Amino acid sequence: MAEATTTKSPTRNRGLEPSKAGDYRRWLRQMMLIRRFEEKAGEAYSLGKIGGFCHLYIGQEAVAVGSLAVLGPDDYITCSYREHGHALVRGVSARTVMAELFGKADGCSGGKGGSMHLFDASLGFLGGHAIVGGHIPLTTGMAFAIKYRNTSQVAVCYFGEAAVNNGAFHEALNMAALWKLPAVYICENNRYGMGTALERASAIYDISERASSYDMANEVVDGQDVLVVHAAMMRAVQRARADKHPTLLEVRTYRFMGHSMSDPIHGHYRTREEVEGQRKRDPIGVWSQRLIGEGMIDDAAVRAMDQEVAAEVEDAYQFADQAPDPAPEALYTDVYAHP
Amino acid sequence: MNLTYRDALNQALREEMQRDPDVFLMGEEVGVYQGAYKVSRGLLEEFGPMRVVDTPITELGFAGVGVGAAMVGLRPVVEFMTWNFALLAIDQLVNSAAKMRYMSNGQVGVPAVFRGPGGSALQLAAQHSQAFESFYAHIPGLKVVMPATPADAKGLLKSAIRDDDPVIFIEGEMLYNTKGEVPEGEHLVPLGKADVKRAGRDVTIICHSKTVGVALKAAEELAAAEVEAEVLDLRTIRPLDEEAVVTSVARTHRCVVAEEGWPFAGVGAQVVDIIQREVFDELDAPVIRVTGADVPMPYNKHLERAAKVDAARIVAAVNEVLYR
Amino acid sequence: MATRVVMEALSPTMEEGRLIEWKKGEGEAVAVGDVLAEVETDKAVMELTARAGGTLLKQVVPAGTTVPVSQLVALIGEPGEQVAMEPNGKERVADATTPAPATPAPPAPEPPAPVSGRMKASPLARRLAAERGIDLGSLHGSGPEGRVVLRDLERPGAVAGRPVAAARPVVRTAGGPAYTDTPLTPIRKTIAKRLAQSLGPVPTFYLTTEVDMERAWEARGALTGAGNGPKVSFNDIIIKCVALALRQHPACNAWWQDDHIRYWHEIHLSMAVAVEDGLITPVIRDADLKSLREIAAESQDLAGRARDRRLKPEEYTGGTFSVSNLGMLDIDEFTAIINPPEAGILAVGRIVQTAVAHDGQLALRRRMRLTMSCDHRVIDGATGARFLQTLKAMLENPLAMVY
């Protein structure tokens, strides 16, 4: 019988462990990489090098970094369309991600997926999906396969808070809890589903309470603190591996940019003041200050790290810009397994 | 051996589950209930609850579970109690299953089979009598298979389960009790190959699933009037066996296409397109389609009969293309 | 007044003689006792000598013709004397024998024109017509709105309207369509359906009549001596009479077309010819409009080429009625099989001296039995019988043809 616990993780300082300083610094770098990458992607989009939709993760970096740090190489990850950051953290190179955004043959999906459909099966990174909530049952299926094969893998799903009103969310979580599957459902609650505030879309504000419908373990997590995210994810993953029980994590975060590049930063649905206020809890700033405070890094190193990351992103940009388009024949490949 | 269509499917599932441990069955009432149409009778007892999984009534959810499991290498057979209900799952079938391989540039496939009865039965009324094969046949990335006989049911289901692409496998409630000869031993029927169920020289009747039996009946009537009709069973709707269609109609010079579904943009419309493009100079008459009536299925017995394809309508169409 | 020279019985048993060669030409002076011609009898070659003097006005039959005894072979008279009778007994039809008329024969009238004016044809029919060199426009389409379809090419009459072979174009006196399609009336439908069920595809019945052929015999004899045209056979005479009789009985000149009957306004007679391994039916087109001379020439030509297998398809298709003659093979009578879609066929037996009651007395008369096979879906008993009556009357009084 699964424990139904709702825990609000403390946002106060938890002690940092000196032996993990390397990890901590890596997390900082990863968050910076995401930030610089997404800024560059925004720039590329406005220059017409990226077409269609482009959903930026700016402000939410701690969620991907803190949670993915817990997983092993055999675990499965499925995301929504706002997944550039997750791909980068999981290990898809900046070059390959940028090339995919540019639609080039060297992109991680051969230029055929685009921003919303990043895939790298060798890393267990199973997309990039564009139908809101549509991929949540996929994670349940992957967790089913893990149980079927009796391994200790975990299947993780990232989605936004607007997906939790969706039938697919409900069906997927019900089955995961019913059948006791090793899944972690991470709801990145950035408060706004496109232009609709959560209060206007959801009868219940505390998304984690949805889990009680399925008797599923759940937590509300401060998403702007990478360490808090990490700790919550540790618990959830442990529960999945050891007990084969799923968890719903409601990770409260904030996006500083609009829903996508086609949407205004605040528009009519939130105020500039709110956005500015939220920026004060920029996860990167919060974490770098923390590490500096703990003596695990210094300003110069942070700046150097930033420059290094910027160079990596610039390199990725150039790579993507010069990479070739897919061959015309690629139009017809991979529709079926054996043409 | 002489088997019912239902038992042929049961055998196919059993054999494939015995052969490949990655194959499992999932759907409503497939386990304890022994299957809503008894297609999965005995499987739970033989393979256990991990491989024969009863689901809640959540078509979208469990279709997605099937897709997810297939994405990481299992071979699920997802049963929809009827294809009417699968409308709820269409997002998973069309947006996930059909597209996964393409979007991922070949990295991630979905070797799943989605099966269940489609089309009408008797007086099940509007929401339970629909033939949707043309919906799925429209989607690149899916395969659509529709066996008409027990032998084809067994052979095609086995092939579908072994196929690495998502297969939409549409059976027929009215076919489950039909009997036919099924070859002994390992019996596989390839996807994408039509079958001449009756050879003839005067006209080709192209059909699939339930209309095959109706077409054969029409052919008997026509034979008594000295018209020899060739009955071509498509068996697989996508990919369609264009060569078989072209070869037959080029020889007989006349064609009638019979299908259960509605007329607009139905499977028959695609068949006619192939014929008019590839066999134009051999045609002695326009191709005539015989389809279900373009209405939601009525409940009343007589109205329902009038809405369905019967032998008389096929005979009339054949006479029309023969100018008789 | 000219003296008639007839074929004489140059031997006691002679019934007819073949005039091998003329010894005197037209316009030449003849004295009594001069040899006019050499004649082959049943026994030997004999000489036909002049019994009057004067000028040989006319060689009535060409050399090589076989003439029954007492049939006219020549006329002797005063130089410049006008000969009263027409040599062939033919009726004069406007332009029928004029060579090379100013305009060629008009093509078959178009089928009812489709609204758009385009020729409608199935792709298959179009392709095959092009391959076979058939003019689509000359075909009658049996499909909807006059669409030409496969069976229209394979049917007899597939080349309806092609100009008749070479130098004997025919002008129809009346314009208008070549046929009228009559939908089946309920009684016809019932008859068709019931009869077809009981007798197989073509419900056939047979009518027999015996014709007195004395006058026809004479007439043919007269024709034999006249002019240098082709020798006229009895079959030619029968063909001509059949054609004229069909004119009076158009209900017998029709095709069964499953859901309608095509009553042809043109008369094309299929003439059965035995060939080495079977039978072929060359068609004499517009037989009613042709002279006996033309029919004779054509039938000989067609029969010859039939036996040599040199007939073109358009020459053995398109008949509206058939005539089959086994008289030369000593058959008294027989029943012929109808050539679908035609509705009737006439089987002709041999002409034989028969003892019959004639004018109240026993006499030996040349008689011939005709048997007509009729498709009951198209021709009823009385209809067929009336046709035979007319035919018989014509054959028994050949001069009526000219009347």
User: pLDDT (tens digit, 9 = 90+) per residue, B112-156?
Assistant: 999 999 999 998 899 999 999 999 999 999 999 999 999 999 999
CA distance B102 to B99: 5
ipTM of the complex: 0.88
Same domain, C258 and C348: yes
**Interface contact C193, partner B, CB < 8 A:** no
Between the CA of residue C159 and those of A15, A135, C133, what are the distances in Å? 105, 70, 10
What's the token pair of residue C125?
């029919």
Cis bond upstream, residue B239 (ω within 30): yes
Query: What is the model's pLDDT at position C84?
Result: 56
Same domain, C397 and C288: yes
Q: Which of A129, A139, A148 sits opposite B24 (nearest CB)?
A: A148
Query: What is the model's pLDDT at position C113?
Result: 42
Best B319, B323, B324 residue to mutate vs chain C (most C CBs within 10 Å): B323
What 3-state class would DSSP assign to C291?
coil
Q: Which of B253, B280, B324 sits opposite C150 (nearest CB)?
A: B253
Lowest average pLDDT, out of A180-194, A299-313, C170-184, C356-370, goes to C170-184
Instruction: Tell me whether residues B56 and A178 touch, CB distance under 8 A.
Output: yes
Between the CA of residue C53 and those of B289, C3, C4, C21, C23, what are the distances in Å? 88, 9, 12, 20, 15
Same domain, C29 and C135: no
The pLDDT tens digits of the residues spanning A14-70 come to: 689 999 999 999 999 999 999 999 999 999 999 999 999 899 999 999 999 999 999
**CATH number where C133 lies:** 4.10.320
Cβ–Cβ < 8 Å for C17, C41: yes
Q: In one letter, which amino acid is B79?
A: E
> Mean pLDDT over residues B243-266, rounded?
97
Same domain, C273 and C316: yes
Cis bond upstream, residue A283 (ω within 30): no
Active site residue C358: no
What's the token pair of residue C390?
């007319």
CA distance C109 to C86: 35
CA distance B60 to A192: 25
What's the token pair of residue B284?
């002695």
Q: Where are the domains of chain A?
A: 20-227+244-319
**Interface contact A331, partner B, CB < 8 A:** no
The pLDDT tens digits of the residues spanning B91-124 come to: 999 999 999 999 999 999 999 999 999 999 998 8
**Interface contact B70, partner A, CB < 8 A:** yes
Catalogue all structural domains in chain B, each as residue range(s) with its CATH number: 2-181 (3.40.50.970), 195-321 (3.40.50.920)
What 3-state class would DSSP assign to A99?
helix
Same domain, C228 and C142: no
Does C376 reside within a domain? yes
The pLDDT of residue C43 is above 70: no
| Touch criterion met for C and B (3+ Cβ pairs within 8 Å) | yes
% residues pLDDT > 70 (chain A): 96
Cβ–Cβ < 8 Å for B65, A137: yes
CA distance C145 to A259: 63
Closest residue, chain C, to B280 (C-alpha): C123
CA distance A229 to A249: 9
> Mean pLDDT over residues A132-141, rounded?
96
The pLDDT of residue A193 is above 90: no
Which bin fits C371, alpha (ψ -120 to 50), beta or left (φ > 0)?
Answer: beta
Instruction: Tell me whether residues A121 and B104 touch, CB distance under 8 A.
Output: yes
Instruction: Tell me whether residues C151 and B285 touch, CB distance under 8 A.
Output: no
Task: For residue A137, count other CB atoms closer than 10 A to its CB.
Answer: 33
**CATH number where C14 lies:** 2.40.50.100
Between the CA of residue B139 and those of B91, B187, C311, what are the distances in Å? 12, 28, 59
Start-end of H helices in C200-343:
214-225, 234-248, 292-307
Beta strands B229-233 and B203-207, pairing class: parallel
Among C140, C249, C268, C376, the one annotated catalytic: C376
Order the strands of the A76-79 sheet from edge to edge.
Answer: A6-8, A217-222, A247-252, A183-189, A155-160, A76-79, A125-128
| H or E element at residue C19 | strand C16-22
The pLDDT tens digits of the residues spanning A242-273 come to: 999 999 999 999 888 888 887 777 777 888 88
Q: In one letter, which amino acid is C35?
A: V
CA distance C312 to C305: 9
CA distance C265 to C275: 30
CA distance C31 to A315: 133
Q: Which of A119, A138, A334 sits opposite B64 (nearest CB)?
A: A138
Query: What is the model's pLDDT at position C115?
Result: 43
CA distance A270 to chain B (A): 32
Query: What is the model's pLDDT at position A94?
Result: 98
What's the token pair of residue A323?
């990479």
Same domain, C133 and C244: no
The pLDDT tens digits of the residues spanning A206-249 come to: 999 999 999 999 999 999 999 999 999 999 999 999 999 999 99
Query: What is the model's pLDDT at position C263?
Result: 93
Same domain, C129 and C189: no
Mapped to the 3 state alphabet, what secondary structure does chain B carry? CEEEHHHHHHHHHHHHHHHCCCEEEEECCCCCCCCCCCCCCCHHHHHCCCCEEECCCCHHHHHHHHHHHHHCCCEEEEECCCCCHHHHHHHHHHHHHCCHHHHCCCCCCCCCEEEEEECCCCCCCHHHCCCCHHHHHCCCCCEEECCCCHHHHHHHHHHHHHCCCCEEEEEEHHHCCCEEECCCCCCCCCCCCCEEEECCCCEEEEECCHHHHHHHHHHHHHHHCCCCEEEEECCEEECCCHHHHHHHHHHHCCEEEECCCCCCCCHHHHHHHHHHHHCHHHCCCCCEEECCCCCCCCCCHHHHHHHCCCHHHHHHHHHHHCCC
What's the token pair of residue B54?
């009863």
Q: Which of B281, B285, B324 sits opposite C127 (nearest CB)?
A: B281
The pLDDT of residue C172 is above 70: no
Instruction: Tell me whether residues B285 and C123 touch, CB distance under 8 A.
Output: no
Does C244 reside within a domain? yes
Q: Taking CB atoms and an 8 Å cut-off, how many pairs form between chains B and C? A: 29
Same domain, C363 and C317: yes
Q: Computed over its alpha carbons, how large is the radius of gyration of chain B?
A: 19
Task: List the chains bordering chain C where 3 or more Cβ pairs fall under 8 Å.
Answer: B
Which residues, at least 6 apart from C209, have a Cβ–Cβ distance to it below 8 Å? C369, C370, C388, C389, C392
Task: List the chains bordering chain A where 3 or more Cβ pairs fall under 8 Å.
Answer: B
Does C240 reside within a domain? yes
Same domain, C297 and C364: yes
| H or E element at residue C191 | helix C186-199
What's the token pair of residue B255?
């064609």
Average pLDDT over chain C reads: 80
Higher pLDDT, C141 or B70: B70
Count the domains in chain C: 3
Lowest average pLDDT, out of B191-200, C68-77, C230-239, goes to C68-77
Higher pLDDT, C65 or B22: B22
Same domain, C142 and C204: no
Same domain, C241 and C369: yes
**Interface contact A132, partner B, CB < 8 A:** no
| H or E element at residue A94 | helix A94-101
Does C375 reside within a domain? yes
Q: Which residues of B touch C (CB under 8 A)?
A: 253, 280-285, 323-324
Q: Which of B65, B96, B106 sits opposite A334 (nearest CB)?
A: B106
Show the CA angle centred on residue B48, arms to residues B47 and B52, nearest 5°.
80
| Touch criterion met for B and A (3+ Cβ pairs within 8 Å) | yes
Which residues, at least 6 apart from A139, have a Cβ–Cβ distance to it below 8 Å? A76, A78, A155, A156, A157, A172, A176, A183, A185, B68
Instruction: Tell me whether residues C150 and B284 touch, CB distance under 8 A.
Output: yes
The distance in angstroms from the start CA to the end CA of chain B is 41
Q: Which of C265, C244, C243, C245 is nearest to C255 (CA)?
A: C265
Instruction: Tell me whether residues B95 and A134 touch, CB distance under 8 A.
Output: yes
Instruction: Tell me whether residues C150 and B283 touch, CB distance under 8 A.
Output: no
What 3-state class would DSSP assign to A112?
coil
Structural domain span for residue C139? 123-162
| Fold of the CATH domain A20-227+244-319 | Rossmann fold (3.40.50)
Q: Taking CB atoms and an 8 Å cut-off, how many pairs form between chains A and B? A: 151
Query: What is the model's pLDDT at position C391?
Result: 95
* Confidence grade of residue C161 (pLDDT, cut at 50, 70, 90): very low
Strand partners, C48: C37
**Interface contact A139, partner B, CB < 8 A:** yes
Diameter of chain C by CA atoms? Answer: 77
* Domain termination site, one of C43, C77, C111: C77
Order the strands of the C29-30 sheet from edge to edge.
Answer: C3-6, C72-77, C54-59, C29-30
Query: What is the model's pLDDT at position C134?
Result: 86
Higher pLDDT, B195 or C223: B195
Cβ–Cβ < 8 Å for C350, C368: yes
Closest residue, chain B, to C144 (C-alpha): B323
Closest residue, chain B, to A76 (C-alpha): B72
**Interface contact B65, partner A, CB < 8 A:** yes
Same domain, C296 and C381: yes
The pLDDT of residue C101 is above 60: no
What 3-state class would DSSP assign to A176?
helix
CA distance A251 to A235: 14
Instruction: Tell me whether residues C122 and B283 touch, CB distance under 8 A.
Output: yes
Does C118 reside within a domain? no
